[in-house]
Amino acid sequence: MTNLPDGWVQIWFHMPPGSNATSMGMGAELVAPDRVRLPRAPWGAFGAAKHDILRIERDHDGQWWVKEKVTASGYCAIRIWASDDNPERFEDVVLADFAPLQVSGAGMFGLVVLDVPVTADLQQVRRLLRDGERAGRWTVDELYVTTAWRKAAP
C-alpha cells in the first residue's frame, strides 16, 4: 500500500466492463467517516473529477470502495493518450501547453489526465484539445464533463 498523508485513505474504483483492469486505486482525503475528496481525477474512472466528494464503503478485507458521487466539484476530467510518435517528455509538454489556461493534471507513460476547473476558458481548452487531436498529437477521452463543458464547443 502507498504511504499516504495523515487523514487520507486508499480507495478503489470498479472499472467498467471491457477495461484492461477490474479496479483502480488512489489515495483520497477522508472528509467524513464514509466520504473522501479526490485530490485529482482518477486515471481510468469515468464519472469522477478533482475535488469531487465520494461515498465509500469498506469491504470484508478492509478495503475502501467507491459507491457513489455525493458532490460534484465542477471540475472536468479529460484523459489524453499520446500518439505513437509522441515526443520525449510528452506529459510535461502537454501540461505546459494547458497551464496558461488554468488547467493542471498528472501524467505518465504517454498518458495525461487534465483537471479542468470551472474557472478555465472552456472554449479555449476544447480548441486546444481538438487542434492537438487533429494534428495527430493525441487522442482525447472525456472522463467527466459538465454541462458548461458541453456548451463550450469551439
**Could you tell me if residue 66 is inside a domain?**
yes
What range does the domain containing 87 cover? 76-151
Q: Residue 3 has what pLDDT? A: 86
- Residues 95 and 144 placed together within one structural domain of the fold: yes
Q: What is the pLDDT of residue 21?
A: 78
Asked whether residue 87 falls in the same domain as residue 32, the answer is: no
> Out of 10-19, 63-72, 119-128, 134-143, which region has the weakest mean confidence (pLDDT)?
10-19
Residue-wise pLDDT tens digits, 95-129: 999 999 999 999 988 899 999 999 999 999 999 99
pLDDT tens string 56-82: 999 999 999 999 999 999 999 999 999
Task: Give the HSE-up count for residue 120: Cα atoms under 13 Å, Cβ half-sphere.
Answer: 26
- Sign of the CA dihedral with 69 first, then 18, 28, and 129 last: negative
Range with lowest mean pLDDT among 12-26, 34-48, 116-130 = 12-26
Specify whether 90 is located in the same domain as 135: yes
133 assigned to some structural domain: yes
In the sheet that holds 104-108, the strands lie side by side as 104-108, 111-116, 76-82, 138-144
59 & 84 share domain: no
Q: Give how many domains the chain has, as a whole number.
A: 2
Cα separation, 152 vs 154, in Å, equals 6
pLDDT higher than threshold 80 for residue 16: no
Rounded distance between C-alpha atoms, residue 141 and residue 154, angstroms: 17
DSSP state of 20: S
Q: Are 153 and 91 in contact (CB under 8 A)?
A: no
Q: What is the pLDDT of residue 88?
A: 75
Q: pTM of the entire structure?
A: 0.90
pLDDT at residue 18 greater than cutoff 90? no
Q: Which pLDDT value is given to residue 86?
A: 63
CA 94/CA 125 separation, integer angstroms: 12
Is position 90 within any domain? yes
Residue 3 lies in a domain: no
pLDDT score recorded for residue 87: 67
Q: What is the pLDDT of residue 59?
A: 95
Q: What local confidence, expressed as pLDDT, does residue 121 receive?
A: 97
Which three three-digit cell numbers place residue 80?
489524453
Query: Mean pLDDT for the chain?
Result: 92
- For residue 108, being part of any structural domain is answered with yes
